[in-house]
Amino acid sequence: MDVFDLTRRLISIPSTSGIEGEVVEFIAGQLREIGFGVKVWDALPGRPNVYARVGNPDVVMSSHTDTVPPFFDVREDDEFIYGRGACDTKGLIAAMIVASRELIKEGVNDFGLLFVVGEEAGSKGAQDANKVDNTCRYLINGEPTESKLALGSKGGVRLILRAHGRAAHSAYPELGESAIHKLVGVLADLSATRLPTDPTLGSTTMNVGLINGGVAGNVIAPEAEAELVFRVVSKSVDIKRLIEECIAGRVEIQYTFECDPVFMQRLDGFETSVVSFTTDIPMLTNWGLPLLFGPGSILDAHTADEKISKAELARAPGSYAGIVRQLKERIRNGQ
């Protein structure tokens, strides 16, 4: 099975966050066929991680098996393969597997593959994988970076804001207290707050992704909530302090995820970039020094027309194999 065939097969198996089991079973079978020892275990009930290795890995390639909704099946034209997960990250997983097959044929030993669940929804799989005993020196994390080594990635803070009010007839607003009005005021103040910048990573950004609240158009809203994501360029604790100072107790805050920005390794022969998205790397601190690389563009990920370039995908196995070889050389030289 070549990298295009494997990408098509992976895309055709739905694996939105929470239903990764079937695609993990398929991946584990592919890895056993090419000679890996494979461990599969539930990171969450019915949601398995997979760790495959030859020897005692000091270099591990890693990515996530879940995708965002909605699922849509594979199709292609002369230039691209389309489908949910094409670039985020099933094309990358296919490239890693094909690269691993070639490395094993060459006699390369002591490397592995780690695929985790739930990166798109809190990185619970990575958090669980971080408990696995290993002697890994370098972690090559796969995300769509346009085949450039990303030298930095932003951190993230996810939170839910909950406002409470008092219901009343909308003709008599003085008898109630609108949770929606309260929430909108807080969101406006947060939007006007000056957020940190970094000369390498750029600006901290805020997205209000979901808003819910109220019971009817002619009722003063008794409850409202919003889900926010900050892409951060400073320590997450600093952003949380700014959030709390701005809100000043007006609404409840529930933090659901946080991680700091990460700076990664560079290698000879690879173009470099900086990315604004967050990865599993901050949750995989026990897997060695991180690198971030993958074919495809993050601008195509999560869209209704997600795709990956066939030309770029065809080059990706050689790139991943080359990264492993360079890192192995570093280790032999005591780096």
Cα pseudo-dihedral 226, 229, 234, 237, rounded to 10: 40
Q: Which amino acid is at 285?
A: T
How far apart CA 285 and CA 262 sit, in angstroms, is 11
Give, in order, the Cα–Cα distances in Å from 240 to each of 51, 124, 191, 253, 276.
Answer: 34, 21, 14, 10, 19
- Beta-sheet pairing, 197-198 with 37-44: unpaired
By three-state DSSP, how is residue 164 classified? strand
Structure tokens at 195: 């957020």
Give, in order, the Cα–Cα distances in Å from 326 to each of 35, 214, 299, 323, 333.
Answer: 22, 57, 29, 5, 11
By three-state DSSP, how is residue 157 classified? strand
For the chain, where are the alpha helices, taking DSSP H only?
3-11, 21-33, 91-106, 124-129, 179-192, 236-247, 310-332
Catalytic annotation, residues? 119
Q: Which among 53, 55, 58, 84 is positioned nearest to 69, based on CA atoms?
A: 84
- 259-272 as b/e: b if 16+ CB within 10 A: bbbbebbeeeebee
How far apart CA 294 and CA 68 sit, in angstroms, is 18
